[in-house]
């Protein structure tokens, strides 16, 4: 099973709301990723967790707060977002970070709209 | 910093044609390269992963090659079908950095 699941599929929120995106995998992978993708652009890396510890933060604004409660779950907490944060948020996982056989598997994404 | 380009940006072909999609990257110090397809508004589907020690990988009608020293990879699609219509992305993975995605090739296969 190479499935990564994400909830919710769609999310509409106001600029003062607090919401969370969830990602789950049961492949035993120890690296998990958050990407942001704007329309007609490639995905851009936001965060990497390796063995449940934050490994990479690509200078993401603090209104995005990642959390990795265990090796199967990854959350992205959202607060005080701006309309320009509207995008498709993708979660991915891989066996380990930075190794030669590091094949990434992606979830279907959460389409976020900030009003 | 790794920079990735893909040519062509868009391609429209009749069903049954054989296709070649190109990916170029500036930093040859990579340990692998992954090809993905993405349908509109959907997540990415992994197609092939080529490790740096490999020259090519095959999966069904897909064949990907890697020339690390020249910073190039190609994805060959044989006997294209309308179901192949999607955006194809390449992403080299480098030492000390994670995958950097190219801008993609938007493929349309006409019945």
Question: Which residue is closest to A89 within chain B, CA to CA?
Answer: B43
The minimal CB distance from B51 to the residues A42, A44, A101 is found for A101
In B4-61, which ranges are E strands? 4-7, 10-14, 19-25, 30-38, 44-51, 56-59
Interface probe with A: pick from B98, B101, B104, most Cβ of A within 10 Å:
B98
How many angstroms separate the CA atoms of B78 and B44, rounded? 21
Contact B31 A99 (CB under 8 A): yes
A101 has pLDDT over 90: no
Closest approach of B50 to chain A, Cα-based (Å)? 8
Residue A19 has pLDDT above 70, yes or no: yes
Structure tokens given for B73: 């990879």
Q: Among A29-33, A48-52, A101-105, which stretch is predicted with the lowest mean pLDDT? A: A101-105
Question: What span, in angstroms and rounded, lies between the C-alpha atoms of A112 and A8?
Answer: 9
Contact state of A43 with B101 under an 8 Å Cβ cutoff: yes
pLDDT in tens, A60-98: 999 999 999 999 999 999 999 999 999 999 999 998 877
Tallying the residues shown for chain A, one arrives at 115
**Residue A1 above 80 pLDDT?**
no
For residue A57, which of A31, A33, A22, A85 has the smallest C-alpha distance?
Answer: A33
pLDDT by residue, tens only, chain B of 111 residues: 889 999 999 999 999 999 999 999 999 888 899 999 999 989 999 999 998 889 999 999 999 999 999 999 999 999 999 999 999 999 998 765 677 899 999 999 999
Numbered residues of chain B with Cβ closer than 8 Å to any chain A Cβ: 31-32, 34, 36, 41-46, 49, 51-53, 89, 91, 93, 95-96, 98-99, 101-104
Q: What is the pLDDT of residue B52?
A: 87
**Structure-block tokens of residue B78:** 């044989």
Which helix (H) or strand (E) segment holds residue A73: the answer is: strand A73-79
Contact yes or no for B34 and A90 at CB 8 A: no
Q: Which of B28, B32, B10, B15 is nearest to B77 (CA)?
A: B15
pLDDT of residue A58: 87
Cβ-in-10-Å burial (0-12, 13-18, 19+) of B52 comes to middle
CA dist., res. A32 & res. B20, Å (int): 31
Backbone angles phi, psi at A84, to 5 degrees: -70, -5
Which residue carries 């699941």 as its tokens?
Answer: A5
The minimum CA-CA distance between A39 and chain B, rounded to whole Å, is 9
Which of A6, A41, A105 comes nearest B46 by C-beta? Answer: A105
Q: What tokens appear for A28 in the block?
A: 């035993």
Contact A106 B49 (CB under 8 A): no
């Amino acid at each position: 099973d190479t499935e990564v699941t994400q909830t919710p599929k769609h999310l509409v929120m106001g600029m003062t709301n607090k919401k969370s995106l969830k990602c789950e995998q049961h492949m035993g992978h120890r690296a998990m990723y958050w990407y942001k993708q704007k329309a007609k652009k490639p995905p851009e890396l936001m965060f990497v967790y390796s063995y449940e510890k934050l490994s990479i933060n690509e200078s993401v604004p603090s209104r995005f707060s990642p959390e990795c409660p265990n090796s199967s779950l990854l959350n992205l907490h959202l607060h005080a977002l701006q309309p320009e944060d509207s995008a498709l948020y993708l979660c991915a996982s891989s066996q380990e970070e930075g190794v030669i056989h590091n094949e990434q598997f992606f979830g279907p994404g959460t389409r976020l709209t900030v009003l | 910093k790794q920079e990735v380009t893909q040519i062509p940006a868009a391609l429209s072909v009749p069903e049954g044609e054989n296709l070649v999609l190109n990916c170029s990257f500036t930093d040859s110090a990579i340990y692998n390269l992954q090809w993905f397809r993405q349908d509109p508004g959907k997540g990415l589907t992994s197609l092939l992963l080529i490790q740096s020690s490999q020259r090519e990988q095959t999966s069904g009608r897909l064949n990907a090659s890697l020339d690390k020293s020249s910073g190039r990879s190609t994805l060959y699609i044989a006997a294209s079908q309308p179901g192949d219509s999607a955006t194809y992305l390449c992403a080299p993975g480098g030492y000390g950095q994670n995958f950097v995605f190219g801008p993609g090739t938007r493929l349309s296969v006409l019945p």
